Amino acid sequence: MSWSIAQVARMSKVTSRTLRHYDSIGLLPPAWVGDNGYRYYEREQLLRLQRILLLRDLGLGLDTVAEVLDGRHREVDVLRNHRRWLHAEQERLATLASTVTRTIEELEGGAEMGAEELFDGFDAETQARYEAELVERFGEGVQPYVDETKRRMGGWTKADAAGFKAEWAAILSAYAGLAGAGVPVDAPETVEVTDRHHAWIRRSWTPDRESYTGLGRFYVDSPEFKAQFEERLDGLAEYVRDAIAHYALVRL
């Protein structure tokens, strides 16, 4: 027995666009494709999709899911490593939640927090790794951009930092809405959101065409950044990368 892509999407609560993306990256090819170009799935593919969704619910990225399903890593080893990461992240988020709570109390007239307390829970190691990855990937020429970011953000207030993070979340949501609706990366609506993203980036550093395009590629290549995009929509990191590349070509 076989099921069409529309039937599988309805049964699994996974969009047809996501299923097509899984096919394009080799994660879940259909059993066969009809003369009409429609994808059809059989029970073997449904069972593989079930495992994909289970691993995704556990927080694993698509690359890791593929490696597990293809036998390149033992599933139990991957899950053990992921469990360790989840415990560490749980502790970090608990600290961050406490920092936010104390900030709210201060803003509502409570005791003022110490300067060091303002940054409890922020992952300095991750930030340092981002910087090292950028320098390694793009060379020493990127170091001035890193230094510029540190210089600008060093004078930010709590409100500045909170606004910066909120704008990032809003931009991600806007991109996800466009990508989910199938809006092309060169459409006016997408260019408008990318213009907003470029303005947001300029709050911390000023990219040129090459460095801005490189940032888009970094979103795809960095596991941490890509995970942020994939939480919103599978394939979103690639969509944003391509939108940035188009914007850089026509606007920078």
State mean pLDDT over 129-148.
Answer: 57
Q: Give residue-wise pLDDT tens across range 69-124.
A: 877 767 677 667 667 766 766 766 676 676 667 667 666 765 544 444 444 444 44
Count other C-beta atoms under 10 Å from residue 206's C-beta.
14
Q: Give residue-wise pLDDT tens across range 139-196.
A: 555 566 666 666 666 667 767 777 778 888 888 888 888 888 888 999 888 999 999 9
Is the distance from CB of 9 to CB of 19 less than 8 angstroms? Answer: yes
Query: Please, which residues have CB within 8 angstroms of residue 14's CB and are 6 or more apart in sequence?
Result: 8, 49, 53
d(CA 137, CA 133): 6
Token pair 């340092």 in the structure block, residue: 128
Ramachandran quadrant class, 3 (left: phi over 0; alpha: psi -120 to 50; beta: rest) = beta
Q: Is the pLDDT score of 19 beyond 70?
A: yes
The hierarchical CATH code for the domain 2-72 is 1.10.1660.10
Higher per-residue pLDDT: 213 or 161: 213
Return the CATH fold of 125-251.
Globin-like (1.10.490)
What per-residue confidence (pLDDT) applies to 120?
44
Lowest mean pLDDT among 128-137, 138-147, 219-228: 128-137
Q: Is the pLDDT score of 242 beyond 90?
A: yes
pTM, two decimal places:
0.49
Is the distance from CB of 201 to CB of 207 less than 8 angstroms? Answer: yes
